[in-house]
Amino acid sequence: MPNILENPRRHSHFRWDGLGDIREGRGDLGEDMPVLVYRLMQFTMLDVLSREFGEAEADRLFRKSGHLAGTEFARNALNLQLDFDGFVAQLQRALAELKIGILRMERFDQGTGEIMLTVEQDLDCSGLPITDENVCTYDEGFIAGVLEAFAGRPYDVREVDCWASGDRVCRFSGRLSDA
């Protein structure tokens, strides 16, 4: 049996195949889990990061994590060779099938790359108490990562409306980034 101290798990090198074979590993329980469990993990992690590093740094780290997830999701689960309309339709289907949320494209300017989209019934905040704040920083990064993987250029995405701020959808504004 390998000694875990000699061969520690590497947390700093995410690989898509490191997600494992969920169907094989969870044969009786299946691939789905309640949103409650996802939020329990996310909100406790955000709480610890906020206490350790401050809220601004915790948001930055969550956005950065979301970006990595969005980039890897797009590269491994989506066809990046489609035209824009085909890509958006594919992304809408994928997010709905995975029960992440219902994506609606409100506006896209091909000339500037500016985009406005909404996500309804999202994992992160739909149903939360109203706190008059936007809370979907992970989603900001996720959407930016997906867009960057498709466009080949970095995006800056910010949430402009949120369930937690009293809206019934999360609305995101994106623009090409100078970074």
Per-residue pLDDT of 51-100, as tens digits, reads: 999 999 999 999 999 999 999 999 999 999 999 999 999 999 999 999 99
Q: pLDDT by residue (tens digit) across 106-156?
A: 999 999 999 999 999 999 999 999 999 999 999 999 999 999 999 999 999
All domains in the chain, ordered by first residue: 19-176 (3.30.1380.20)
Question: How many whole angstroms separate alpha carbon 145 and alpha carbon 149?
Answer: 6
Helix (H) / strand (E) containing 93: helix 84-97
User: 9: exposed, middle or buried (C-beta count within 10 Å: 0-12, 13-18, 19+)?
Assistant: exposed
In whole angstroms, what is the distance from residue 62 CA to residue 83 CA?
30
Q: Is the pLDDT of residue 4 over 60?
A: no
Q: Determine the Cα–Cα distance for residues 172 and 44; give it in Å rounded to an integer.
A: 24
Partners of 173 in the beta sheet? 116, 158
